[in-house]
């Protein structure tokens, strides 16, 4: 009986023990729930502070400038940081407050030895290109306790928590390959063929500028303004006159020191002639008439004074029209100044019945204007006409101005950008040349560009080759975390590796290769002949931008637009969080 009673008490005791354990367990569970809620609240606030720090750091980085005074930069950046931070909530507060001490400025520098970026913090490390922002809920902020109030932890003796987040932002350093078109067409806007588009006044005044940029050289008796050749006769002696014959192909101007008696013109052959008699003046202009009208003159006999015996048939002094006599008349029997071309070839091109010189109305007219046209159209390469890079060839001149603007801006902002230069087309097997590898030596890019001329190496347009050389350089030498960029400029249509069709396909292939290597292409179409659709396509493939600088307007307007494009490219620096969420 007592044993049974003891067993009943044991059951009751057990039930009581379970209730006690349950109460303890519930208390522990509530503590864990409270802890979990507060931890979640703290985590949410931490995330909010990180978002505020990230956005504020990026806003501050946008204000960094190597041009403005460092104090001004700090003021502007701090204002931007605070403005953006105030838009973010943190826990129980509707806005994040950033103190001056929470912001640190510095300079990020590439260490070529270690192949890493180093970060130099402090206001003395200018120009600033990096900023660090800390968003805090700490014990003392502005003289007040700004820690995060907890919801359940006070029951355990913890009322508030210190939470913070940090972000570092900078303009992302760029590895930029500049790919430039130096094909022969890059001098089209300084040749006679553009008179209809740009006007005669501009073309001819620019040719004058080019001659002066060559040092105003003197060859023979040429003048800048084209003039007909003047064949000079024997010196005057007694009743033997001195005679000048100005050859104009279908007519001649004759001037004698004694009155003219007779002038005979020969056309296509010795039997194809016309004679003018009964003359009495010292001058006259003579051309075929009747059935002889419009015929080219090949020889002239001028009878004046007592010079009749100077030729058979008593015809007077004979003037034969040939490349040799024209060359002598122009005083061009000396050595031609450049490796490509010759004075005889120049004369032949001026006499041609087609081409830019003919179309401009300067057939048979000799002078430095037509000579520079001759060099640009026939011998544009540096190997043939070594000094043309010194001149204002167009549109290559405005391209050089644009590159200069680009490099000057990058130099001024000291943004740790590396720049290289690829030029196409080249006579090597690659079809393009890496003029300069990626480096911080920006001056060499500007100098080399200035010292190249239209058709510098060869006249064709191998856009894909220039892109390939640039891509390979970026793949081999781009820095970690640097933004990869290629600036591709052309004024025409690809006609290599073999033809325009293959050339276009090769450009698309290269654009896809660039995309695979995370290279963004910024494409520039220059002038009326550029394939704008192709340039737009390669920009789209890589997520880049296409800039169209159309021709058909004044060179000054093209220059302004191209400089604007290069400035825009130079200043469009991508922002990047180096440390943050």
Task: State residue 253 phi and psi, 5-degree precision.
Answer: -100, 125
Average model confidence (pLDDT) for the chain? 91
Q: What is the mean pLDDT of residues 414-421?
A: 93
Geometric angle at alpha carbon 193, from 187 and 196, rounded to 5° = 125
**Domain that includes residue 162, residue range:** 2-171
Q: 278: alpha, beta or left, given left = phi > 0 and alpha = psi -120 to 50? A: left
Whole-number pLDDT of residue 17: 63
Which of 305, 326, 347 is where one domain is finished? Answer: 326
Do 40 and 99 have their domain in common? yes
410 in a structural domain: yes
Q: Are residues 456 and 561 in the same domain?
A: yes
Same domain, 79 and 182: no
> Does some domain include residue 386?
no
Residues 6 or more apart in contact with residue 555 via CB below 8 angstroms: 189, 198, 202, 206, 394, 395, 397, 398
Within-domain flag for 76 = yes
The answer on 180 and 155 residing in a single domain is: no
184 in the same domain as 150 = no
Higher pLDDT, 555 or 296: 296
Q: 63-72: per-residue pLDDT in tens?
A: 988 888 999 9
On whether residue 216 sits in a domain, the answer given is no
Owner of token pair 């409270």: 34
CATH of the domain at 294: 2.60.40
Please tell me whether residues 476 and 497 are part of one structural domain. yes
36 and 129 co-located in one domain = yes
- Whether residue 54 is found in the same domain as residue 162: yes
Domain of 554, CATH number, reads 3.40.50.410
Query: Once rounded to an integer, what is the mean pLDDT over residues 337-347?
Result: 99
What is the pLDDT confidence band of residue 5, given thresholds at 50, 70 and 90? very low
| Nearest alpha carbon to residue 463 among 487, 420, 432 | 432
7 and 86: one domain?
Answer: yes
Say yes or no to pLDDT of 322 above 80: yes
pLDDT value, residue 342: 99
The total number of structural domains that make up the chain: 3
Q: Are residues 282 and 399 in the same domain?
A: no
Give residue-wise pLDDT tens across range 482-509: 999 999 999 989 999 999 999 999 999 9
**Domain edge (last residue) among 326, 353, 376:** 326
Q: What is the pLDDT of residue 32?
A: 62
Other Cβ atoms closer than 10 A to 331: 13
- Tell me the CA distances in angstroms from 438 to 13, 177, 575, one per residue in order: 85, 7, 21
Is 499 a domain residue? yes
Cα–Cα distance, 285 to 297 (Å, whole number): 13
Looking at the fold, whether 166 and 144 belong to one and the same domain comes out as: yes
Q: For residue range 189-203, what is the model confidence (pLDDT) as tens digits?
A: 999 999 999 999 999
Asked if residue 563 has pLDDT above 60, the reply is yes
pTM above 0.85, yes or no: no
Give yes or no: residues 311 and 427 share one domain: no
* Residue 371 domain-assigned (yes or no): no
Q: Is residue 341 domain-resident? A: no
């Amino acid at each position: 009986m007592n044993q049974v009673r003891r067993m009943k008490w044991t059951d009751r005791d057990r039930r009581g023990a379970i209730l006690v354990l349950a109460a303890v367990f519930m208390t522990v569970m509530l503590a864990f729930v409270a802890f979990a809620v507060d931890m979640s609240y703290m985590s949410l606030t931490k995330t909010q502070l990180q978002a505020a720090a990230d956005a504020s750091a990026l806003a501050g980085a946008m204000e960094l400038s190597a041009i403005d005074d460092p104090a001004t930069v700090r003021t502007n950046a701090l204002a931007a940081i605070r403005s953006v931070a105030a838009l973010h909530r943190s826990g129980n507060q509707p806005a994040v407050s950033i103190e001056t001490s929470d912001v640190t400025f510095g300079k990020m520098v590439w260490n070529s030895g270690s192949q890493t970026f180093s970060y130099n913090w402090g206001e003395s490390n200018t120009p600033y290109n990096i900023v660090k922002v800390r968003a805090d809920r700490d014990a003392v902020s502005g003289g007040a306790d700004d820690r995060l109030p907890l919801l359940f932890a006070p029951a355990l003796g913890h009322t508030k928590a210190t939470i913070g987040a940090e972000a570092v932002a900078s303009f992302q350093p760029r590895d930029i390959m500049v790919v430039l078109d130096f094909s022969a067409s890059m001098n089209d806007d300084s040749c006679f063929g553009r008179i209809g588009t740009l006007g005669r006044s501009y073309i001819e005044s620019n040719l004058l500028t080019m001659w002066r940029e060559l040092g105003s050289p003197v060859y023979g008796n040429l003048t800048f303004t084209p003039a007909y050749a003047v064949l000079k006769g024997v010196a005057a002696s007694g009743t033997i006159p001195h005679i000048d014959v100005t050859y104009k192909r279908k007519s001649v101007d004759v001037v004698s020191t004694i009155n003219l008696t007779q002038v005979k013109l020969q056309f296509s052959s010795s039997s194809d002639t016309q004679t003018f008699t009964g003359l009495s003046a010292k001058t006259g202009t003579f051309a075929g008439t009747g059935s002889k009208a419009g015929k080219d003159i090949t020889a002239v006999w001028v009878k004046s004074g007592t010079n009749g015996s100077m030729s058979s048939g008593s015809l007077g002094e004979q003037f034969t029209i040939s490349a040799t006599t024209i060359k002598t008349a122009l005083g061009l029997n000396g050595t031609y100044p450049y490796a490509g071309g010759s004075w005889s070839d120049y004369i032949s091109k001026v006499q041609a019945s087609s081409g830019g010189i003919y179309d401009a109305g300067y057939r048979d007219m000799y002078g430095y204007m037509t000579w520079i046209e001759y060099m640009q159209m026939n011998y544009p390469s540096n190997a043939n006409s070594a000094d043309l890079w010194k001149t204002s060839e167009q549109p290559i001149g405005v391209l050089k101005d644009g590159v200069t603007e680009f490099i000057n801006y990058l130099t001024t902002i000291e943004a740790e950008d590396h720049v290289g230069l690829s030029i196409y087309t080249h006579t090597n097997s690659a079809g393009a040349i890496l003029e300069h590898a990626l480096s911080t030596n920006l001056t060499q890019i500007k100098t080399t560009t200035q010292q190249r001329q239209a058709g510098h190496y060869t006249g064709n347009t191998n856009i894909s080759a220039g892109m390939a050389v640039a891509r390979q350089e970026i793949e081999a030498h781009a820095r970690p975390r640097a933004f990869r960029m290629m600036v591709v400029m052309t004024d025409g249509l690809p006609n290599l590796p073999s033809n325009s069709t293959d050339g276009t396909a090769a450009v698309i292939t290269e654009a896809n290769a660039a995309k695979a290597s995370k290279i963004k292409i910024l494409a520039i179409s220059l002038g009326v002949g550029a394939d704008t659709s192709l340039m737009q396509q390669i920009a789209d493939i890589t997520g880049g931008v296409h800039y169209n600088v159309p021709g058909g307007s004044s060179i000054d307007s093209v220059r302004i637009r191209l400089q604007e494009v290069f400035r825009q490219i130079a200043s469009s620096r991508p922002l990047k969080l180096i440390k943050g969420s």
